[in-house]
Amino acid sequence: MFWPFRFTLTALCLAASGPAFAAADAASPVAALAAQEARVATIGFRLTTANAAWCPVQQPQFGWIWGDPRLYPAAGRTALHTVYGVGELDAPYVAAIAPGSPAAMAGIRIGAPVTRINDRAVAAGEGDDPFARITAIEMLFAALPTAPARIEGDGRRWTVTPVAGCASDFRVEDRRREGAVADGRAVYVDAGLADFAANDEELAAAIAHELSHNILRHRTRLDAAGVDRGLGKQLGRSARLFRQTEIEADRLSIWLLANAGYDPHAAVHFWTRFGQRKGKPWFQPGTHPRWKDRVASFEAEIRAIDTARAAGRPLEPPLIANPPPLE
């Protein structure tokens, strides 16, 4: 469920931005964030690669998440060395690696600073938003073919051969709110949402919903439909179209989960808890269906999957080939 522009567990977002990392855990906020990055890297890699054949737009998947020292205040960068092994070098680094992924098989270590990519120096980006430097790197790798990529740093060189996957990168934002967003290119997961998920299956359900927004090109389709993202987004046609995209993402997410080997019932558990977490809402946004309606939709898709499997038919996810028009 993810609010229009930001599609959080409430919508689909235009961009991710934010302050330097805040304390996520009194004892070790950086360690807490690193643990959530590892979870999201693993889930994102599994969902994108297992479902690659269904995705009309693919990109190389390496199984990593990127970090940048400048996301941290200067006084707090000592923790980077403790948790990630990052030194004083002002360079982006590999913050998380999915087990069994190309990055893991290449022997890249977490915390490895990267100063060169395919024999070209990584731009220093002096004065730039550190998120911009990460985004530039993600977009560079997304545009490459599934041929080996060379990265260098800390006196070492690694050659990484990616695999094809659905087009999305992943990032964890150190925010305490229970949200996640998709902007058509990447999925951004708030640390508070990862904390809220009871287990990795539930977190996968939330991430699959956001990934579905990207697969179904919701940002592009909403742009083309000329929706109102201002005060009028909760009313009339704009609200109806945003709600349509939420319903579409809900439906597809169940198939992504099942095809990647996750229990699709995790979506029922997660969204039931999410819908009930603050009691009965005083206002139901027009951009989103009620949580009970969402759960009913999940259960209908699970029945369709069970029926197909019982009949020995291949799974055929809805909407990808011919999404209904937004009008």
Query: Across residues 92-96, what is the average pLDDT?
Result: 93
The DSSP code sequence of 194-206 is HHHSSSHHHHHHH
Which stretch of 225-234, 238-247, 268-277 has the lowest confidence by average pLDDT? 225-234
- Per the CB < 8 A criterion, the answer to whether 225 and 179 are in contact is no
Average pLDDT over residues 113-126: 82
CA separation for the pair 142, 159 (Å, rounded): 16
For residue 299, name the pLDDT band (cuts at 50, 70, 90).
very high
Average model confidence (pLDDT) across the chain: 86
At residue 233, the pLDDT reads: 78
Top CATH class of 29-42+52-166 equals mainly beta
Find out whether 54 and 259 touch, Cβ atoms under 8 Å.
yes
Give the model's pLDDT for residue 249.
96
Crossing angle between the packed helical segments 200-215 and 265-276, to the nearest 10 degrees? 90
Distance CA 126, CA 79 (A): 22
Contact 1, 279 (CB under 8 A): no
Q: How many residues belong to the chain? A: 327
Please, what is the Cα angle at 108 between 135 and 62, to 5 degrees? 50
Q: 78 Cβ partners below 8 Å, 6+ apart?
A: none
* Residue 21 clears pLDDT 70, i.e. is over it: no
Stretch 240-249: mean pLDDT, rounded?
93
Calculate the dihedral angle through the C-alpha atoms of 101, 23, 14, 40, rounding to the nearest 10 degrees: 20
Alpha-carbon span 125 to 119, nearest angstrom: 18
Least confident of 7-16, 107-116, 122-131, 288-297: 7-16
Q: Which tens digits make up the pLDDT trace of 74-88?
A: 776 777 778 887 766
pLDDT at 286: 74
Residue 130's pLDDT is: 74
What percent of the chain has a predicted confidence (pLDDT) above 70?
Answer: 87
Specify the pLDDT at position 14: 26
| Strand-pair category, 149-153 with 163-166 | unpaired
Distance CA 296, CA 275 (A): 13
pLDDT at 26: 41
How many other CB atoms are there within 10 angstroms of residue 299's CB atom? 15
Task: Give the pLDDT of residue 283.
Answer: 62
Which tens digits make up the pLDDT trace of 280-295? 666 667 788 899 999 9
- The better pLDDT of the pair 9, 85 is held by 85
Q: Tell me the pLDDT band of 137, cut-offs 50, 70 and 90.
A: very high
Place of tokens 């890699």: 45
- Reported confidence tier of residue 132, pLDDT bands at 50, 70, 90: confident
The 8-class DSSP code of residue 180 comes to E
Quick one: pLDDT band at residue 89, thresholds 50, 70, 90?
low
Per-residue pLDDT at 85: 78
Pick 22 or 192 by higher pLDDT: 192
Look at 27 and 295; give whichever has higher pLDDT: 295
Mean pLDDT of 143-149: 91
Asked if 8 contacts 15 with a C-beta cutoff of 8 angstroms, the reply is no
Of residues 170 and 5, the one with the higher pLDDT is 170
In this prediction, residue 24 has a pLDDT band, given cuts at 50, 70 and 90, of very low
Of the candidate ranges 12-21, 168-177, 267-276, the one whose mean pLDDT is the lowest: 12-21
- Position 157 confidence tier, pLDDT thresholds 50, 70, 90: very high
pLDDT over threshold 50, residue 25: no
Domain ranges of the chain: 29-42+52-166, 197-310
Q: Distance between CA 303 and CA 309 in Å, rounded?
A: 10
- Contact in structure between 46 and 324 (CB atoms under 8 Å): no
